[in-house]
Chain A
Amino acid sequence: MPQPLDTVKGFAVTFRQLFKKPITQQYPEYKRPVYPRFRGRHRLHVHENGLEKCVGCSLCAAACPADCIRVVAAENTPENRVSAGERYARIYEINMSRCIFCGYCELACPFDAITLGNEFEISEYSRDDLIYTKDMLLAEPIKRVPVADPDLYDTPIPYYETHS
Chain B
Amino acid sequence: MNNGEPWWISLIKAGIIVNLVMLAFAYTTWLERKLLGRMQLRYGPNRAGPFGLLQPIADLIKLIRKESFFPVAARDSLYIAAPVIAMFTALAAFAVIPFGAGWQIWHYHVNGEIANVSIGLILLFALGSVGVYGAIIGGWASESKYSLLGSMRTCAQLVSYEVSLALSVLGVVLMGQSLNLVEIVNKQGATIWFFIPQLAGMLVFFFAVIAETSRPPFDLPEADTELVAGYHTEYGGMRWGLFQTAEYVNMITLSALAVTLFFAGWHGPWAPLGPLWFVLKVFILVSIFIWIRASVPRLRYDQLMRFGWKVLLPVATINAVITALLVVWVH
Contact = CB atoms under 8 A, between A and B. Distances in A.
Nearest to A17: B39
A10 B291 CA distance: 10
Contacts of A77: none
A164 B295 CA distance: 39
Interface residues on A, range: 10 to 19
A17 B291 contact: no
B43 A17 contact: no
Given A7-B296, A22-B37, A22-B38, A14 B43 contact: no
Q: Could you tell me the dominant secondary structure of chain B's interface residues?
A: helix
Contacts of B41: 17, 20-24
B291 A15 contact: yes
Interface in A21-56: 21-24, 26
A20 to B, nearest CB: 6
B35 interface: yes
Interface string B31-62: 00001011111110000000000000000000
B294 interface: yes
B37 A14 contact: no
A161 to B, nearest CB: 38
Interface in B285-318: 291-292, 294-296
Given A11-B291, A24-B43, A18 B38 contact: yes
A5 interface: no
Contacts of B39: 14-15, 17-18
Nearest to B217: A7
Contacts of A10: 295-296
Nearest to A10: B295
Nearest to A9: B295
A156 B38 CA distance: 39
Nearest to B311: A2
A14 B37 CA distance: 10
B295 to A, nearest CB: 5
A13 interface: yes
A15 B39 CA distance: 7
A11 B290 CA distance: 11
Interface of B: 35, 37-43, 291-292, 294-296
Given A17-B38, A18-B38, A22-B37, 17 more contacts: A7-B295, A10-B295, A13-B295, A14-B39, A14-B291, A14-B294, A14-B295, A15-B39, A17-B39, A18-B39, A21-B41, A22-B38, A22-B41, A22-B42, A24-B41, A24-B43, A26-B43
10 contacts: A10-B296, A11-B292, A11-B295, A14-B294, A14-B295, A15-B39, A17-B40, A18-B35, A22-B43, A26-B43
In the A-B complex, list the 9 residue pairs whose CB atoms are closest, starting with the nearest: A14-B39, A14-B295, A14-B294, A10-B295, A11-B295, A17-B39, A22-B43, A23-B41, A22-B41
